[in-house]
Amino acid sequence: MNDNSTLQMRVVQANELNPLIREFRLCAADGAPLPGFTAGSHVRVRVRLADGSLDWRHYSLVNFSPAPDATAKPAEYVIAVRKEEPGRGGSQFMHMRLVEGDLLTIEAPTNQFPVGAHSGTAVMVAGGIGVTPLTAMAARRRADDLPVRMVYAGRSRELMAYLSELQALLGSDLTAHADDEIGKPVDVAALLDACGPMDELYVCGPGSMLHAVQQEAESRGWPRERVHFEVFAPALHVAGDSVIEVVLSQSGKTLSVPADKTILQCLIDAGCDPLFDCQRGECGVCVVPVIEGAIDHRDHVLSQTEKDGGKLIQVCVSRAKGARLVLDL
Ligand code: FES
């Protein structure tokens, strides 16, 4: 380990799992033991973007071994990366430029998506590449001899990475939902109908999938603590987005937020010191009171009641429905 948090790794294997997903097996460059990790952990990986600048991307650690100590002293870290087109360049680097033998700087694993040891079933809902953290979480539940089942959705079986490994791990506790076979999205209502009162949901996939599960759970009065989630591939900007004016009432500043930047990024660029963490609308840290303007909520933390109230915004992902917002900053 180079300092408190970064690790110098070597790519020992790069495998094309399917036309969209590439898997990397990473070992310490100096052969030293790697820090252990808990199920649901991710590592931040330093990538070089097309313009030559360096940035970080986070990728979940994959594990299928139900051995109790499988991730305590791992010999390697396994990550899988989906090619995003168009993307901001991180996945292009991982797909087009990184080859076996290359060195890669990463940060030690951290976990913002842990799986509980509750006695009710851990009901996992995976969408596409969102399956990666859930592999290790399902293996953990198996290791602890606790109930787990998973619905894994993807466009087609060919594009669903790790399907055979999950079938081996979960057997009949895995339901594969290939859109091209079934012709419609996962029936979220039926999924929740089948849950017992002690079951907890773990969702990882596109924002639309998470939104559907959260809406259904909220409409049934499920406490939010029973729905755990991580979002993959958040939409930084949506077709139709345009520039918005953001007025900071306390400081008197006015920011112009272009379509391809978030309010949070513009606050940072303007020298403000906003609180933030996930930058994916998941953690709630970046919440800011709104004084005026209609909010286009794109986060996954505010309740529907809070969203309807129109007084709070998660500035890392949400925008304005109109041309202007006034924030209490
Ligand atoms: S930084 Fe986590 S919700 Fe905005």
Residue type, 181: E
Closest-lying ligand 1 atom to the alpha carbon of residue 314: 4
Q: Are 22 and 87 in contact (CB under 8 A)?
A: no
Q: What is the pLDDT of residue 167?
A: 98
DSSP H helical segments within 173-291, as ranges? Answer: 179-182, 188-193, 207-219, 263-269
Distance from residue 150's CA to the centre of ligand 1 (Å)? 27
286 lines ligand 1 (CB under 6 A): yes
pLDDT of residue 86: 64
Note whether 293 and 304 are within 8 A (CB).
no
Whole-number pLDDT of residue 276: 86
Distance, CA of 284 to CA of 313 (rounded, Å): 9
Alpha-carbon distance of 202 to 134, in angstroms, equals 8
The finding on whether 278 has its CB within 6 A of some atom of ligand 1 is yes
The pLDDT score that the predictor gives to residue 165 is 98
pLDDT value at position 236? 59
pLDDT at 1: 42
Helix (H, G, I), strand (E, B) or coil at 117: coil
Which helix (H) or strand (E) element contains residue 58?
Answer: strand 54-60
The amino acid at residue 175 is: T
Q: Which long-range contacts (CB under 8 A, 24 or more apart) does 309-312 make?
A: 312/287, 312/288
Q: Ligand 1 centroid vs 300 CA: distance in angstroms?
A: 9
Is the pTM for the entire model greater than 0.75? yes
Contact 132, 145 (CB under 8 A): no
Per-residue confidence (pLDDT) for residue 151, from 0 to 100: 98
The token pair at 96 is 């087009």
Q: Which atom of ligand 1 is nearest to the CA of 276?
A: 1
75, 162 in Cβ contact below 8 A? no
Phi, psi torsion values for 160, nearest 5 degrees: -95, 100
> Is residue 154 helix, strand or coil?
strand
| Residue 321 DSSP code | S
Is 191 touching ligand 1 by the criterion CB < 6 Å?
no
Using CA atoms, how far apart are residues 81 and 60, in angstroms rounded to an integer?
9
Atom of ligand 1 nearest to the CA of 284: 3
- Rounded to the nearest 10 degrees, the angle between the axes of helix 163-170 and helix 131-143 is 20
| Contact partners, residue 208, CB within 8 Å, separation at least 6 | none
AA letter at 36: G
Supply the pLDDT for residue 240: 85
Mutation test residue for ligand 1: of 112, 282, 303, the one with most atoms within 8 Å of CB: 282
Beta carbons within 8 Å of 225's beta carbon, 6+ residues apart: none
Mean pLDDT by 10 residues, the chain (329 residues): 74 96 97 96 92 89 96 96 78 92 96 95 96 97 98 96 98 97 94 97 89 91 92 67 95 94 92 87 92 94 91 96 96
Separation between Cα atoms, residue 201 and residue 150, nearest integer Å: 10
Atom of ligand 1 nearest to the CA of 299: 3
Residues 6+ apart with CB under 8 A from 270: 253, 255
Task: Report the pLDDT value the prediction gives residue 237, as an integer from 0 to 100.
Answer: 66
Per-residue tokens: 169? 């791990």
Q: Tell me the domains of the chain and their CATH numbers.
A: 6-107 (2.40.30.10), 122-231 (3.40.50.80), 244-327 (3.10.20.30)
> What pLDDT shows up at residue 2?
43
